[in-house]
Amino acid sequence: MCDTMEDIKIKYNDLKVDHYLQLRKGVNWKKLSRTQAELALKNSICIVTAYRGEVPVAMGRLVGDGAVICYVQDLIVLPECQGQGIGSQVLQALKDYVEELRLNHTEMMFCLMCAKGRESFYEKHGFLARPTENLGPGMIMYLHG
């Protein structure tokens, strides 16, 4: 399905819930309920989707406040499409969107938590791995019931 970058089209804020769930399944991510998926998409600041024809092959979304901090969430590229620059294209579109949101003469934090083993992809796009001398490690808590 993904031999080259040809015919890849980037679209904003049009990802359907079924496609989101299919993309997550395609990379073996945790299954979400349909309601969770709907709310995640609805509450995103921006969703960038890469399509080959009518088929979504990659996506990423932004969450945050849009003034001080934005997080890249759910950057997904189907396995058969990885290594072709599609993820880089989606990430750049998200970064460009954040730059448009950033108020003049201010600094905006553009953050993410990446999957283990994916650090080099994000580092080549300018992200700093934590911890650093001044920044502690990222932390997470799972809430369930």
Count of structural domains, the chain: 1
**Is residue 19 domain-resident?**
yes
Domain annotation covers residue 142: no
Domain region containing 77: 8-123
Structure tokens at 47: 């969703």
Q: Examine the pLDDT at 4 and tell me if it is beyond 80.
A: no
Report the pLDDT value the prediction gives residue 107, as an integer from 0 to 100: 96
For residue range 76-104, list pLDDT tens digits in order. 999 999 999 999 999 999 999 999 999 99
In a domain, 15, yes or no: yes
Q: Is residue 135 part of a domain?
A: no
Cα dist from 62 to 15, 83, 102, 133, whole Å? 13, 22, 14, 27
Flag whether 37 is in a domain.
yes
Query: What is the domain-level CATH number for residue 31?
Result: 3.40.630.30
